[in-house]
Amino acid sequence: MNDSDELSALRGVNLQLQGTVASLRSELEEAAIRGRAQVQTAEARAANEIADLRRAIDSLRQALDNTASAGRADTQAEKARAAAEAQQLRSSVDALRTEMDSLRAAHQSALTRQESTALLEKKNLREQVQLLRSELEKQK
């Protein structure tokens, strides 16, 4: 083989290598583009999932806050009902005490009147007995 054939063969190999390098470079660029697209797609999916999770967390937080607020309102309403019932019971007890004191006073007054009446009747009966005894003695 002479120099010119060798040179031609080298040029052919060089052209073939340049084609291979260009093809590899093109494949590498395409792979990089696909990789970037896949990364962007994965990032978009992850961002969507994160947004969905944030919305779910916010919704759960809101529901928890609403439940807590409703629970506090229910508790306050129950406390108010219990306080009103306790006040009503106190008032009823006070009214019953007043009524009982009035009844006790009325009973005491009636008892005193009855005792007075009984004493007067007893006195009158003694006087009558005395008068009857005196008359009996006079008749003897």
Q: What is the DSSP track for 72-134?
A: HHHHHHHHHHHHHHHHHHHHHHHHHHHHHHHHHHHHHHHHHHHHHHHHHHHHHHHHHHHHHHH
pLDDT at 3: 81
Domains of the chain, by residue range, sit at 1-112
d(CA 118, CA 96): 32
Q: How far is CA 135 from the centre of its chain?
A: 94
Averages of pLDDT over each 10 residues, the chain, 140 residues: 84 93 95 96 96 97 94 95 97 96 95 94 94 86
pLDDT at 4: 87
pLDDT at 83: 97
Alpha-carbon distances of 129 from 9, 35, 107, 124, 140, rounded to whole Å: 173, 136, 32, 8, 16
pLDDT at 137: 86
Q: Over the stretch 71-97, which tens digit does the pLDDT of each residue have?
A: 999 999 999 999 999 999 999 999 999
